[in-house]
Amino acid sequence: MKKNIILMGPPGAGKGTLAKQLLNAFPFVHISTGDMFREAIKAGTELGKLAQSYIDKGDLVPDEVTIGLVKERLSQDDCANGFMLDGFPRTIPQAEALEKICQEIQRPIDAVVNLDCDDKELIRRISGRRVCKNCGTPYHIITMKPKVEGICDKCGGPLFQRADDNEEALKVRLDHYVHSTKPLLDFYQEKGLLENFNSLKGSELLFDEVRLYLGK
């Protein structure tokens, strides 16, 4: 079994759904830098406020902040049985820093799972996303509508669109992906770690393919 993996793909490619499925099948610890920053923002910490200023504009949080956070997390005991990085690395410098971290803690990356998806589908998926302000339950205005528009089915809380899910911020995020993150595919291809999957196949078929590749 491939123990320590990186989950890659542009925003909206289905990484979140696949991650949940993989967590039910493998003993991975899910490490999402996006979730880490959102928790810090919700708590109103200094790190959260700093991250908020970048995320609202669709910009990436500075490397020194993200790398320090990831190193601390990967060193914890619960990562000994395997971890799945989601949202990191996003640039070549981050990938090089991750290599050093993994060498220091003796937990090497075994595989990089990349989800392919065209831009039109990404825009449709992301611009339609909504989230419950109270419980965090996700919805979509086309594919996962609530029973009552704007109201959460589970808790009755109001639904909202995250600042980084609007079309303007999305275009910035996709531009960052093309210019900064996509070169990582070549980086990991050269190391023999990269495996590409078509995320348009549907979540169940995609999960089956990735599950078999990871060795279960």
Q: Which of 53, 210, 179, 66 has its CA nearest to residue 171?
A: 179
Q: Is the Cβ–Cβ distance between 114 and 199 less than 8 Å?
A: no
90 part of the active site: yes
Catalytic pick among 15, 38, 125, 130: 15
In terms of phi and psi (left: phi > 0; alpha: psi -120 to 50; beta: otherwise), the region of 71 is: alpha
Query: Which residue shows structure tokens 């099948």?
Result: 25
Rounded to an integer, what distance in angstroms lies between the CA atom of residue 73 and that of residue 71?
5
Whether residue 130 lies in the annotated active site: no
Marked catalytic residue, from 38, 90, 125, 130:
90
Assess whether 162 carries a catalytic annotation: yes
Place of tokens 């109270």: 134
- Identified catalytic residue from 2, 73, 162, 211: 162
Residue 173 annotated among the catalytic residues of the structure: yes
| Catalytic site residue from 3, 38, 130, 173 | 173
- Whether residue 138 contacts residue 154, with contact meaning beta carbons closer than 8 Å, is answered with no
Encoding tokens for residue 150? Answer: 């704007």
The active-site residue, picked from 57, 73, 129, 211, is: 129
CA distance readout (Å), 165 to 76, 109, 187: 31, 30, 28
Give the residue numbers annotated as catalytic, written as ranges: 15, 90, 129, 162, 173
